[in-house]
Amino acid sequence: MSGGDEPFIAAVKPLVDAMGGEMLPPDEAGPEDVVLSWEGADVVAVRLPQLADSLDHILAAMERRKGRPLADLDRKAKQEVVRTLEARGAFSVRHGVETVASALGVSRFTVYNYLNREKGA
């Protein structure tokens, strides 16, 4: 990663951080990493997180945005969190419902109720 590439790296860093990814030199990229090129040259490789790690990252980011533990939110706010997470595919991840239920301080049954309430509405 040469000095001339700094603006490009600075531009993609917030996106990589938001996904919970990791940036590394392109020559250290593995087969699952995404190599980003700029003006014909490989500039940086991005290592994407595992889906389960990504869910933890999303939950932590939501908690930071809300300014308090998700478990401290009221029922309506928890339902909103579940809707947001469903839209982002959180429940297609193995143990997604359990992970979210734990973060919200509710049972799996409650999370399923929140999901079903949306479908019935």
User: Is the pLDDT confidence value at 30 over 70?
Assistant: yes
What ranges in 6-107 are assigned the alpha helix state H? 6-19, 51-66, 75-87, 96-104
Q: What is the value of pTM for the model shown?
A: 0.61
**Tens digit of each residue's pLDDT (9 = 90 or more) over 68-84:** 999 999 999 999 999 99
User: Is the pLDDT confidence value at 120 over 70?
Assistant: no
Which residue is associated with the tokens 């509405």?
121
Distance (Å, rounded) from C-alpha 90 to C-alpha 101? 12
In the chain, what are the domain boundaries? 4-47, 52-119
Give one word for 58, left, alpha or beta, with left for phi > 0 and alpha for psi -120 to 50.
alpha
